[in-house]
Chain A
Amino acid sequence: MFDLIVFLSLLALGYAAGTWAEKRHYRSIADREMAMLNLPAITMKGADVPTHQIRSAQMVYGNAVISVDYFKRLLASLRNIFGGHVKSYESLIDRARREALLRMKAQAGNATMIVNVRIETSAIGKQSKRKNIGCLEAVAYGTALVVEE
Chain B
Amino acid sequence: MKFTARHPRTNVNVSPTHPLKEFAILAGGLLAIAIAVYLALGLAVDLIVPHISMGLEKKLAGAFLDRFAKNDRPDQTTQALQSLVDRLQDQCTRLPYPITIHVQESDAVNAAALPGGHMVVFSGLLAQMRSENELAFVLAHELGHYAHRDHLRGLGRALVLMAASTVLLGADNGVSDMIGQGMVLTELSFSRKQETRADEFALKTLYCHYGHVAGAAAFFSELPENSDPGRIGHYFASHPETHRRIRRLEALTRDRQYPVGELTQLPTALVVADPNR
- Chain A residues engaging chain B, CB cutoff 8 angstroms: 1-3, 15, 19, 33-34, 37-38, 40, 71-72, 74-75, 78-79, 81-82, 85, 87-88, 90-91, 93-94
Using A37-B5, A78-B30, A82-B29 as known contacts, say yes or no to A72 and B19 having CB atoms under 8 A apart.
Answer: yes
- What distance in Å separates the Cβ of B15 from its nearest Cβ neighbour in chain A? 4
User: Do A75 and B23 touch across chains, with their CB atoms under 8 A apart?
Assistant: yes
Also in contact, A94 and B26, with CB within 8 A (given A33-B7, A88-B19): no
- Taking A79-B26, A94-B13 as contacts, is the C-beta distance between A2 and B19 under 8 angstroms? no
State the CA gap A19–B27 with chains docked (Å). 19
Contact across chains for A87 and B13 when beta carbons are under 8 A apart: no
Give A87 to B13 CA distance when docked, in angstroms.
10
- Using CB atoms and an 8 Å cutoff, list the residues of chain B in contact with chain A: 3, 5-7, 11, 13-15, 17, 19-20, 22-23, 26-27, 29-30, 174, 178
User: A38, B5: Cβ atoms under 8 Å?
Assistant: yes
Task: Report which of B11, B14, B23, B26 forms a contact with A82, defined as CB distance below 8 A.
Answer: B26
In the complex the two chains form, what is the Cα distance from A74 to B27 in whole Å?
A: 10
Smallest CB gap from A18: residue in B: B19
B5 and A87 within 8 A (CB): no
**Known contacts A75-B19, A87-B22, A90-B13; 6 further A-B pairs (Cβ under 8 A):** A3-B174, A19-B19, A71-B19, A79-B26, A81-B26, A94-B14
Chain A residues whose C-beta falls within 8 Å of the C-beta of B14 in the assembled complex? 87, 90-91, 94
Question: Considering the chains assembled together, what is the distance between the CA atoms of A119 and B26 in angstroms?
Answer: 32
Main secondary structure of the interface of A (DSSP, over half): helix
Q: Does A90 lie within 8 Å of B15, measured CB to CB?
A: yes
In the complex, A79 Cα to B13 Cα: how many Å?
18
- Tell me how far the C-beta of A67 lies from the nearest C-beta in chain B, rounded to whole angstroms: 16
Residue of A nearest to B177 (CB): A1
| A40 and B13 form a contact (CB under 8 A) | no
What are 10 A-B residue pairs whose CB atoms fall within 8 Å in the complex?
Answer: A34-B7, A38-B5, A71-B23, A72-B19, A75-B19, A79-B26, A81-B30, A87-B15, A90-B13, A90-B15
CA A74 to CA B6, docked complex, whole Å = 37
Closest to B13 in A: A94
B173 to A: closest C-beta gap in Å: 9
Contacting pair A15 B19 (CB below 8 A): yes
- A93 CB contacts on chain B under 8 angstroms: 13
* Interface contact A78-B26, CB-CB below 8 Å: yes
In the complex, chain A residues whose CB is within 8 Å of the CB of B15: 85, 87, 90
Determine how close the nearest CB of chain A comes to the CB of B148; give it in whole angstroms. Answer: 35
Minimum CB–CB distance for A58 against chain B, Å: 21
A40 partner residues in chain B, CB cutoff 8 A: 3, 5
B182: min CB distance to chain A, Å: 12
Residues of B within 8 A of A81 (CB): 26, 30
Cβ–Cβ < 8 Å partners of A78 in chain B: 23, 26-27, 30
